[in-house]
Amino acid sequence: MQYLQQRQDVLRAAQTIARTKMVVGTWGNVSVRVPDKPYLLITPSGMKYDTMTIEDIVMVDWSGTTVEGIWKPSVETPTHVRIYQQRSDVNAIVHVHSPYLTAFAVAGLPVPVILEETAQVIGHEIKTAPYAICGTARLADNVVQTLGSGVAVLMANHGMVGVGRNIEEALRVCYIAEETARIALLAQSLGQVRALDPAEIEKLHRGFAAYGQTKE
């Protein structure tokens, strides 16, 4: 079996988002880019994360055709493929259905940059891509266009996609985004949500990127 480390990364991330309640049941999905080939490794469709093994991870090409694996790949494979095709800097994608982010996605509202860690890790407000049915080319296009050069995008009435240079970065984006959405909703209940100034966001994000460290 090829790409054991990449398969382990996908499995570990999938089990992590399930264990931490960032997804419910078999929803959500995880993928990584295969080094030096136009392929990706992605979680299979409809399989429980707690029983999944590295043998269950599916390898597909840019057309979504299975290259290696016995299971059907995630229904969101077209979106993953389009992101990898458009973003050479992205090597990992995590899609979650966490409750606070999904609330913003249902409301069609962006998650504002209200925390220093949001500015550092994400660096932009998280916009909502227009709704389209899951697994469609239209959804893939909407997600890619709304994501742009960013690292996080909401999917209307669905959830969020976080991307990164590796699986750790993509996971970090998802967790910081969920915490930001949670605190934004709490602050809104108190009557005021203050987003950071764009200059502050840029300075924090640039500093984080330069040092490559998470603020403690």
> Residues 128-178: pLDDT tens digits?
999 999 999 999 999 999 999 999 999 999 999 999 999 999 999 999 999
Residue 163 within a domain: yes
Q: What pLDDT is recorded for position 216?
A: 38
Q: Could you please report the per-residue DSSP string of 179-194?
A: HHHHHHHHHHHHT---
68 catalytically annotated = no
Range in 28-42, 93-107, 199-213 with the lowest mean pLDDT: 199-213
Q: Where residue 1 falls among pLDDT bands split at 50, 70, 90?
A: confident
CA–CA dist 109, 86 (Å, integer): 25
CA 196, 197, 200 angle in degrees (round to 5)? 90
Average pLDDT, the chain: 93
Name the active-site residue from 55, 76, 178, 202. Answer: 76
Query: With 80 as the cut, is the pLDDT of residue 101 above it?
Result: yes
- The domain in which residue 165 lies consists of 4-211
The mean pLDDT of 112-134, rounded to a whole number, is 96
**Overall pTM > 0.85:** yes
Q: How far apart are the first and last CA of the chain?
A: 39
Token pair for 51? 């029983």
CA–CA dist 88, 159 (Å, integer): 23
Residue 61 within a domain: yes
Q: Where residue 207 falls among pLDDT bands split at 50, 70, 90?
A: confident
Exposed e or buried b per residue across 86-123, where buried means at least 16 C-beta atoms within 10 angstroms of its C-beta: bbeebbbbbbbbbebbbebbeeebbbbbbbebbbbbbb
CA–CA dist 185, 180 (Å, integer): 9
Single-letter code of the amino acid located at 43: T
Please count the structural domains in the chain: 1
Residue 216 within a domain: no
CA–CA dist 43, 56 (Å, integer): 7
- CATH code of the domain covering residue 178: 3.40.225.10
Q: Where residue 212 falls among pLDDT bands split at 50, 70, 90?
A: low
Q: What pLDDT is recorded for position 211?
A: 63
pLDDT one-digit tens code per residue, 51-91 = 999 999 999 999 999 999 999 999 999 999 999 999 999 99
Query: With 60 as the cut, is the pLDDT of residue 213 above it?
Result: no
